[in-house]
């Protein structure tokens, strides 16, 4: 999930990171092209008490949009301070891959990220630096495929396989090669009896970059990563939602995925567990605020995640969150064992981690287990 890199120098080193390397120098070191190199090699290099509180700086990375809207609410509503966390700004990495690099390096303290990328990083990072899964923020997939308006696509009632086979020979955009959208594309192709070489994958960046690429016909379709970005891209380009992996008609392996998890570095969790619990409690405050203030929440999401051009979409998302997303979540975002093990199985299937190297017990601390 890509986005421009925003003012990393404003975020102070977190209390638990123990890193003396500045965030600005780390961004300079990793560079703008880091995310396009593929997830696994890069990553190899590299809830609790609701009243929990901490004291000190806590670096949070986040992106615009609905999958990260809890973070947006935390900042806009000044909720961090209530739990003793000093978060003056969010850092916005170029991609989930780069965000995990920064987490492993100790340059940020908390990051909600694509679960498959988190598992790849945990399985390949050194002990102590491994990202730990401390909360599940979305129990349903958020991925979809939007088709270019100038391509004739199968009818909306066509089967998953028929729609996927319509992509054969087409140029398909993903946020970055090796990113979560790319992994989901590979899984969808495999599920439909196809191979990656049946399409031409192209890295097209964030939603704002996807729109001109679609309009100028540089891509025939795009794998979108968030509920609202799928609908905004279709609206802005005149395209159509070819596949929504969360729909009931989608294969179970595509639909039943917990794709967004909260993560912190292992040694930070060991040294300062109260700050981690305070971060989760802050996210829970945002969850409650969204449910209690859907109109204000929609306005904030439209402003921060949809460039002020998608208020009806934001309003529909608030209904979707209240009726579908939130009821599926555990208290304080606790992680169910069956869901986590399902995602571990997918990561093993992709070859991102060795079979048996990552387990629920090594990945999820006791307080975060459902």
CATH of the domain at 185: 3.40.190.10
Last residue of a domain, one of 239, 255, 271: 255
- The pLDDT, as a whole number, for residue 54 is 55
| 220: three-class secondary structure by DSSP | coil
Last residue of a domain, one of 200, 230, 255: 255
Whole domain around residue 22: which residue ranges? 8-140+258-368
- The pLDDT, as a whole number, for residue 209 is 85
Residues 6+ apart with CB under 8 A from 158: none
Domain count, the chain: 2
Kindly state whether residues 270 and 131 are assigned to the same domain. yes
Strands 240-244 and 144-147 turn out to be antiparallel
pLDDT tens track, the chain, 370 positions: 433 333 333 333 333 333 333 333 333 333 333 332 233 333 433 433 334 445 579 999 999 999 999 999 999 999 999 999 999 999 999 888 889 999 999 999 999 999 999 999 999 999 999 999 999 999 999 999 999 999 999 998 999 999 999 999 999 999 888 888 999 999 999 999 999 999 999 999 888 889 999 999 999 999 999 999 999 999 999 999 999 999 988 999 999 999 999 999 999 999 999 999 999 999 999 999 999 999 999 999 999 999 999 999 999 999 999 999 999 999 999 999 999 999 999 999 888 899 999 999 999 999 999 9
Asked whether residue 184 is assigned to any structural domain, the reply reads yes
Last residue of a domain, one of 212, 235, 255: 255
Kindly state whether residues 14 and 121 are assigned to the same domain. yes
Kindly state whether residues 273 and 235 are assigned to the same domain. no
Question: Which residue in the block uniquely carries the two structure tokens 């679960």?
Answer: 115
CA distances from 56 to 43, 82, 83, 86, 357 (A): 28, 12, 10, 6, 34
23's enclosing H/E stretch is helix 23-30
* Separation CA 173–CA 33 (nearest Å): 17
* Separation CA 174–CA 222 (nearest Å): 6
Q: Which two tokens stand for residue 157?
A: 């009632």
| Cα 128 from chain centre | 23
Strands (E), 77-156: 85-86, 90-91, 110-114, 131-138, 144-147
Kindly state whether residues 136 and 12 are assigned to the same domain. yes
Residue 81 burial (CB count, 10 A) = 11
For residues 259 and 141, the answer to whether their CB atoms sit within 8 Å is: yes
Furthest-apart CA atoms within the chain: distance in Å? 57
Closest CA to 361 of 338, 334, 345, 337: 337
Q: Which two tokens stand for residue 228?
A: 């609202």
Q: Which two tokens stand for residue 205?
A: 């960046």
* Separation CA 241–CA 73 (nearest Å): 28
Asked whether residue 129 is assigned to any structural domain, the reply reads yes
Asked whether residue 248 is assigned to any structural domain, the reply reads yes
Residue 218, judged by CB atoms within 10 A of its CB (0-12, 13-18, 19+), counts as: middle
Asked whether residue 2 is assigned to any structural domain, the reply reads no
Is residue 356 left, alpha or beta, with left meaning phi > 0 and alpha meaning psi from -120 to 50? Answer: left
- The pLDDT, as a whole number, for residue 130 is 97
- The pLDDT, as a whole number, for residue 3 is 36
Kindly state whether residues 117 and 180 are assigned to the same domain. no
* Separation CA 139–CA 141 (nearest Å): 7
Kindly state whether residues 303 and 159 are assigned to the same domain. no
Kindly state whether residues 210 and 296 are assigned to the same domain. no
* Separation CA 165–CA 369 (nearest Å): 39
Kindly state whether residues 130 and 18 are assigned to the same domain. yes
- End-to-end CA distance of the chain, in Å? 27
For residue 159, the number of C-alpha atoms closer than 13 Å in the C-beta half-sphere is 6
* Separation CA 278–CA 51 (nearest Å): 7
Kindly state whether residues 295 and 310 are assigned to the same domain. yes
Asked whether residue 338 is assigned to any structural domain, the reply reads yes
Residue 117 burial (CB count, 10 A) = 29
């Amino acid at each position: 999930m890509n986005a421009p890199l925003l003012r990393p120098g404003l975020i102070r080193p977190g209390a638990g990171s123990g890193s003396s390397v500045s965030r600005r120098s780390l961004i300079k070191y990793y560079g703008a092209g880091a995310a396009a190199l593929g997830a696994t090699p890069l990553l190899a290099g590299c809830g609790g008490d609701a009243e929990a509180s901490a004291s000190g700086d806590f670096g949070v990375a986040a992106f615009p949009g609905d999958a990260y809207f809890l973070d947006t609410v935390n900042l806009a509503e000044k909720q961090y301070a209530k739990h003793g966390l000093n978060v003056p700004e969010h850092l916005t990495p170029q991609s989930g891959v780069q965000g995990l690099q920064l987490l492993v390096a100790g340059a940020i303290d908390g990051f909600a990220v694509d679960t498959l990328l988190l598992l790849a990083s945990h399985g390949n990072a050194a002990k102590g630096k491994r990202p730990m899964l401390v909360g599940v923020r979305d129990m349903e997939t958020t991925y979809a495929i939007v088709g270019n308006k100038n391509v004739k696509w199968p009818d909306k009632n066509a089967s998953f396989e028929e729609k996927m086979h319509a992509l054969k020979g087409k140029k398909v955009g993903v946020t970055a090669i090796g990113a979560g959208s790319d992994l989901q594309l590979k899984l969808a192709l495999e599920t439909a009896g196809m191979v990656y070489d049946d399409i031409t994958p192209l890295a097209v960046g964030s939603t704002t970059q996807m729109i001109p690429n679609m309009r100028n016909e540089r891509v025939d379709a795009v794998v979108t990563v968030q509920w609202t970005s799928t609908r905004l891209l279709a609206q802005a380009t005149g395209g159509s939602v070819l596949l929504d992996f969360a729909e009931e008609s989608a294969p179970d392996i595509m639909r039943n995925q917990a794709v967004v998890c909260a993560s912190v570095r292992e040694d930070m969790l060991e040294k300062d567990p109260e700050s981690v619990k305070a971060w989760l409690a802050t996210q829970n405050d945002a969850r409650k605020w969204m449910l209690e203030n859907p109109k204000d929440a929609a306005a904030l999401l439209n402003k921060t995640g949809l460039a002020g051009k998608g208020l009806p979409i934001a309003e529909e998302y608030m209904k979707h969150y209240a009726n579908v997303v939130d009821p599926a979540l555990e208290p304080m975002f606790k992680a169910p064992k069956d869901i986590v093990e399902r995602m571990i199985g997918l990561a093993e299937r992709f070859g991102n981690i060795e079979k048996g190297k990552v387990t629920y017990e090594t990945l999820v601390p006791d307080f975060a287990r459902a």
